[in-house]
Amino acid sequence: MENIFEAVKNNALFKHINQEDFDKTLCCLSAKSAFYNKNDIIIHAGETPRFIGMVIYGKLRIIKEDMEGKQIILGDVSPPELFGEVYAWSGLSGCPATIQAATDCEVLLIDYKKIIQACSSACSAHRHLIQNMLQIMSAKIEMLDYKVEILSKRTIRERLFCFLNSRSNGDKKFTIPFNREEMAQFICVDRSAMSNELSKMREEGLIDFNRNEFELMY
C-alpha cells in the first residue's frame, strides 16, 4: 500500500492521516485498486453509483450527452483527485454523467457508504475522513458554480474570457488540459465558431496561443 499512499496522500480526503492509519483506513473502507485502459467506461450514465474513486495515475474524463446525443465535457480528473463523490450522495437513482478513462489509468475504488459510517473501533482517522469529505464537497460546489458562471455568459467571447481567466490562476502564461474540440465541448459552443473567436482575440492583441498553451495580453 506504500506506493498507493505516496500517489494519493496529497488528496484532501487523507488530510491528517499518516501511512500507518492509511493502511488501516483502506481496509475499513473496503478500498481496492483497479486498472483501466484508455476509453474504458468506469461509471456509465444511468448507473447507480456503488463507489467513489481516486486517480492514482492517468486521467479520467466526465462526459454528459445532451438530448441530441452531443457530448459535453464536464471536466477532467487527474491524480490524486476524487471522482463520483457528487453523484454518490446525490440521492439520484442513476449517475447523470459518464466517467471514462481518458488515458490508461489506475484508480482507487472506495465504498462511499463506509466513509460516513463510523467504524467499529471509532478510530480518529475515520473522524478525519468525515471532516475531510465535507470540505471536499464544499470545494466541489464552488467548482460547479464556476461551470455555471461560464455557461451564464451570452457570447462565445465572454465564455472564453471567463474560461481562460479561471485557468490562468493569475499567471499570464499557462497550459490548458484540452484540445480545441474538448475546449469547445467544455464551454458548450461550436468548435469552428470558437476557433474563429480565438483568432479574432489574437488579432486584437488580447491573447496569444500555440495549441493548448495560452498567454493573456491584457
The mean-pLDDT minimum among 4-8, 59-63, 66-70, 104-108 falls in 66-70
Burial 133-159 (b: 16+ CB within 10 A, else e): beebeeeeeeeeeebeebeebeebeeb
In one letter, which amino acid is 84? Answer: G
Cis peptide leading into residue 49 (ω within 30°): no
CA distance linking residue 161 with residue 150, whole number of Å: 9
Q: Which domains does the chain have, with CATH numbers?
A: 2-146 (2.60.120.10), 153-216 (1.10.10.10)
Per the CB < 8 A criterion, the answer to whether 208 and 202 are in contact is: yes
Using alpha carbons, select from 191, 197, 193 the residue that is nearest to residue 178. 191
Helices and strands, counts by H and E, the chain: 7, 11
Kindly report, residue by residue over 101-149, the tens digit of the pLDDT: 999 999 999 988 888 776 666 567 778 888 888 888 888 788 778 888 9
71 has a pLDDT exceeding 90: no
Q: What's the pLDDT at 137?
A: 83
Q: Is the pTM of this model over 0.85?
A: no
Kindly report, residue by residue over 155-182, the tens digit of the pLDDT: 999 999 999 998 998 899 999 988 999 8
